[in-house]
Amino acid sequence: MSIVNAKDIMVEAAKGKYAIGAFNVTSIHQMEAVVEAAVEKKSPLIIQTSVKPSKVLGREVFVAVYRTLAESAPIPICLHLDHCTEVDYCKKCADAGYTNIMIDASKQTCEENIRQTKEVVDYCHSLGDISVEGELGTVSGVEDQIKVAEDEAALANPEQSVEFVERTGLDIFAPAIGTAHGVYKTKNPKIDFERLGKINMMLNGNGVKVPLVVHGGTGLPEDYIQKLIEMGGAKFNVSTELKHTLIDATWDYLSTHREEYDPGKIDAAVRDATRKAVSHWIDMLCSAGKA
């Protein structure tokens, strides 16, 4: 019961006007901490890994830990592959047991994006209960955030979004609306809320069919998050913040315990800090008690 794809829990979230945190992890300790926080809050959860850690630690290792944790947890948990640009690797992760796959062909032409995304959708659906996320437009790094946010052509066009979703058979959709990866350099990043609202209305106006994903969660002001949820954001990706949390907690611990050689205590410090960060996100996304 606890092993789920992303779409099912996101449809519920979109209907209930809350969102699900999708937390990027690179280690088993982080993964345990993320699950602990979500269990404590009784929140549905999406754990995600980028392609690189899935190759370093191994996709089978991530899946094995995920299944072990999820099967004994009283909440629904999805394991998601984030921003994979290779169709073949998407298929390998689906084979291994990831329950949601993001094919990111957004840098290709629109036709090629459709072709690659559809190939991954068809493959994942043929395997069973695996949902697929696709992206249209450019989710930039923070260094380009303002430039991209002001460039109409770099953001997802609402009509094209509908065509993209219809022709690919996509389950969940990440339209570029000006959010960015990294840490925003300004307190008021330029985000196109109305664009998200319009796309949501066109896709989900008559019942939630294709819930929407917001990338670049780290550092978004809380009132922006609320507004993005209102506009249809049902999954928020949080990556950079957890990387900072891991490094900072490790550094803080080591700098005050330099004479100690007990790796377990470093791991415990990372877990504590990660749990706190994830709990705070769950509160902001209003998903506590929704599992």
Cα distance between the two ends of the chain: 11
Which position has the token pair 């850690």? 53
Interface region with Zn ion, contact rule CB under 5 A, candidates 94-102, 164-172, 211-219, 244-252: 211-219
Site membership for Zn ion, residue 7 (CB under 5 A): no
Question: 89 or 253: whose CB is closer to Zn ion?
Answer: 89
What single-letter amino acid sits at 79?
L
Report in angstroms how near the CB of residue 168 gets to Zn ion at its nearest: 18
Report in angstroms how near the CB of residue 272 gets to Zn ion at its nearest: 26
The CA-based angle 127-207-15, given to 5 degrees, is 85
Interface region with Zn ion, contact rule CB under 5 A, candidates 42-50, 61-69, 212-220, 227-235: 212-220
Nearest-CB residue for Zn ion: 215
Report in angstroms how near the CB of residue 216 gets to Zn ion at its nearest: 6
Site membership for Zn ion, residue 235 (CB under 5 A): no
Query: In the 8-state DSSP scheme, what is residue 288?
Result: T
Q: Could you say which of 82, 104, 192, 267 is catalytic?
A: 82
Task: For residue 281, give the nearest of 65, 41, 82, 66 by alpha carbon.
Answer: 41
The CA-based angle 172-32-248, given to 5 degrees, is 95
Query: In the 8-state DSSP scheme, what is residue 144?
Result: G
Helical segments of 72-144, H only = 87-96, 110-127
How many residues bind Zn ion, per CB under 5 A? 1
Q: Which of 7, 215, 275, 290 is the binder for Zn ion (CB under 5 A)?
A: 215
Question: 7 or 215: whose CB is closer to Zn ion?
Answer: 215
Interface region with Zn ion, contact rule CB under 5 A, candidates 140-148, 155-163, 209-217, 248-256: 209-217
Pairing of strands 233-238, 20-24: parallel
Question: 215 or 271: whose CB is closer to Zn ion?
Answer: 215
Report in angstroms how near the CB of residue 194 gets to Zn ion at its nearest: 21
Bridge partners of 135, per DSSP, are: 174
Q: Read off the tokens for 227.
A: 């507004």
Site membership for Zn ion, residue 41 (CB under 5 A): no
- Give the integer Cα–Cα distance in Å for 165 and 200: 12
Question: 23 or 253: whose CB is closer to Zn ion?
Answer: 23
- Give the integer Cα–Cα distance in Å for 77 and 291: 10
Q: Read off the tokens for 140.
A: 């930039």
Report in angstroms how near the CB of residue 138 gets to Zn ion at its nearest: 11
* Catalytic site includes residue 82: yes
Cβ pair 38, 69 in contact under 8 A: no
Which position has the token pair 């990338």? 215
Interface region with Zn ion, contact rule CB under 5 A, candidates 22-30, 31-39, 68-76, 214-222: 214-222
Question: 118 or 215: whose CB is closer to Zn ion?
Answer: 215
Report in angstroms how near the CB of residue 211 gets to Zn ion at its nearest: 16
Interface region with Zn ion, contact rule CB under 5 A, candidates 31-39, 95-103, 145-153, 213-221: 213-221
Question: 137 or 271: whose CB is closer to Zn ion?
Answer: 137
Cβ pair 51, 81 in contact under 8 A: yes
- Judged by the rule CB under 5 A, the positions of this chain that interact with Zn ion are 215
Query: Which residues are marked as active site?
Result: 82
